[in-house]
Each structure stands twice: as structure tokens, then as C-alpha cells.
């Protein structure tokens, strides 16, 4: 009878131990690719876990269902979360890799080189009209275009007009605008790059005068902050136009 009683006491204990569920580890993370100095937020989605512990792969550790970690050195970090049952009898692990890169550098335009443009406009004829017999000198009064470059953000919050080359012939190419000392920093948005012909109209009365205006010969839209550079330059090329934009990153 005593042996039966002992067995009756042992069997329920074994049943209670075996009924403890196996935890399943699970991680959710707000981002896996970051720059140095950024913080990553981790959340446990584990089931049947009594406790959750974290190893962030950089020497730091933490406990809890929701934790965060800031990474200050470039590299790839294996983050491991351990989910444990009551009294740590059973456990499971899940991992995620966090990639940390150096923060992007500022990008500045140092020079713009116009290498080619069509000798004549698409509609034929000449780029400009030559006026003769006008009583005052007319700079740029020739059939060739008076070229300048304009660069502006597509939302019109920033714009830049470069200097003008008058009566540009094909033999004068390439034309260079140097801006290494101007610190023209570009931002992460679309810019409109225009090759422009500066032209003019003439009023003879009541007094001779010249009114200038601009005609866009070619327009390009691109994001100078994110384009891939080759030898620190980006080339725009289409319809007989070719322009090199040179950058410096610092």
C-alpha cells in the first residue's frame, strides 16, 4: 500500500513538469540597415516564454520584451534573443543581423563641363537671330547660342544660375564652370538641370533698349545626392547634349 501511495504522488509531479510548453523565440525589428549613431528597436514576438534576454552582438545585453540599442561602430552585428520558460527549464533562440554603415557624406558640386550640344536647334535654322544696324553694341549678337547653366530643385526652393558664354561655337567646347570654392551642397531630392540660351529682344522706341530672356535648350531631372558617381562625376547625355557634373564628398 505504501508503494502505491508513493507512485501516486510521483506521477502527478511528472505530469506537471512535462506539461510546461516549449517557448518559441521570435524577433521583430524596425530596421536592419542603419548608419553609425542610429538606434534600432527590437520587440519579442515569442510565445510561451516566461523571460526574454538579448545579446546585441556588440558586447551589450538587455532583458525585456521591448528593447533598443544604438550602434556607434560600422559592421554587421548578430543580435540573438533567448526565450525561456519558467525557471529556465526550456528555451529557444532567434537571431537577426544589423548592418551598420558610416553615415553618408555631404556631396558638393565642384565644376560643370558642357562637352557637346547640337549645332542647330531641332526646328532648324540658327540658335539666335543676328541683328544689324542697331545703334548700341549687342553682346552675344550672333547666330550661336549664349550658353549658361541653371540648376534648381524641382520644388523651386533653391536655384543657381551660372555665368554666360556668349556666341558659343562647337570649336569652343568643352565649356567649364568652376565652383569648387562655392560650396554648392546638394540635398536628397530631385533637381532640374537646364542648358539655357540667353537671348534678347530689342525696343527701338521711345529709346533703344535691350530686354534679355532665357530659352531652355535641354532639361534633365535627377537626384545629385543619390546618383552613382564614376571618378567623382556624373554624366548627363541625351539628344546630342553631354554634360559632366563633378562632385566632392566630405
- Whether residue 6 is predicted with pLDDT greater than 60 in this model: the reply is no
Alpha-carbon span 88 to 14, nearest angstrom:
17
Alpha-carbon span 96 to 75, nearest angstrom:
14
Q: Please provide the average confidence, as pLDDT, over all residues in the chain.
A: 85
- Whether residue 86 is predicted with pLDDT greater than 50 in this model: the reply is yes
Cell representation of residue 11: 506521477
Architecture of domain 107-249: Sandwich (2.60)
CATH no. for 22-101: 2.60.40.10
Alpha-carbon span 85 to 49, nearest angstrom:
5
pLDDT at 2: 45
3-class DSSP state for residue 197? Answer: strand
User: Would you say 175 and 147 are in contact if contact means Cβ atoms under 8 Å apart?
Assistant: yes
- By the 10 Å C-beta count (0-12 exposed, 13-18 middle, 19+ buried), 52 is classed as buried
Residue among 241, 244, 111, 246 nearest 168 (CA): 241
Percentage, residues of the chain above pLDDT 90:
61
pLDDT at 142: 65
pLDDT (tens digit, 9 = 90+) per residue, 107-128?
999 999 999 999 998 888 888 7
pLDDT (tens digit, 9 = 90+) per residue, 224-248?
999 999 999 999 999 999 999 999 9
pLDDT (tens digit, 9 = 90+) per residue, 177-188?
998 888 889 999
pLDDT (tens digit, 9 = 90+) per residue, 139-154?
555 678 889 999 999 9
| Residue 52: DSSP 8-state | E
Alpha-carbon span 187 to 66, nearest angstrom:
35
- Whether residue 8 is predicted with pLDDT greater than 60 in this model: the reply is no
Name the range with the highest mean pLDDT among 11-20, 69-78, 174-183.
Answer: 69-78
Query: pTM value?
Result: 0.62
Alpha-carbon span 177 to 110, nearest angstrom:
9
pLDDT (tens digit, 9 = 90+) per residue, 128-140?
766 555 544 455 5
Looking at the chain, the domain(s) classified CATH 2.60.40.10 span 22-101
User: Would you say 33 and 99 are in contact if contact means Cβ atoms under 8 Å apart?
Assistant: yes
Q: Which residue has the higher pLDDT, 179 or 220?
A: 220
Amino acid at each position: 500500500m505504501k508503494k502505491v501511495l508513493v507512485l501516486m504522488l510521483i506521477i502527478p509531479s511528472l505530469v506537471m513538469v512535462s506539461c510546461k510548453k516549449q517557448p518559441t523565440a521570435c524577433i521583430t525589428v524596425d530596421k536592419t540597415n542603419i548608419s553609425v549613431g542610429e538606434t534600432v528597436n527590437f520587440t519579442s514576438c515569442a510565445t510561451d516564454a516566461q523571460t526574454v534576454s538579448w545579446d546585441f552582438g556588440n558586447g551589450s545585453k538587455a532583458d525585456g520584451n521591448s528593447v533598443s540599442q544604438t550602434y556607434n561602430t560600422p559592421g554587421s552585428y548578430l543580435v540573438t534573443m533567448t526565450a525561456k520558460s519558467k525557471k529556465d527549464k526550456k528555451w529557444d533562440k532567434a537571431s537577426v543581423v544589423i548592418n551598420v554603415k558610416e553615415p553618408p557624406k555631404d556631396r558638393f558640386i565642384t565644376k560643370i563641363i558642357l562637352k557637346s550640344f547640337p549645332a542647330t536647334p531641332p526646328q532648324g535654322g540658327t540658335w539666335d537671330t543676328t541683328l544689324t544696324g542697331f545703334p548700341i553694341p549687342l553682346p552675344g549678337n550672333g547666330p550661336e547660342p549664349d550658353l549658361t547653366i541653371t540648376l534648381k530643385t524641382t520644388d523651386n526652393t533653391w536655384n543657381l544660375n551660372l555665368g554666360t558664354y556668349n556666341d558659343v561655337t562647337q570649336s569652343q567646347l568643352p565649356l567649364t564652370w568652376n565652383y569648387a570654392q562655392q560650396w554648392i551642397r546638394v540635398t536628397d531630392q530631385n533637381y532640374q538641370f537646364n542648358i539655357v540660351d540667353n537671348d534678347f529682344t530689342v525696343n527701338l522706341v521711345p529709346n533703344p533698349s535691350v530686354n534679355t530672356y532665357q530659352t531652355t535648350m535641354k532639361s534633365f531631372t535627377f537626384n545629385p545626392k543619390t546618383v552613382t558617381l564614376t571618378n567623382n562625376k556624373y554624366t548627363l547625355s541625351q539628344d546630342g547634349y553631354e554634360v559632366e557634373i563633378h562632385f566632392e564628398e566630405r
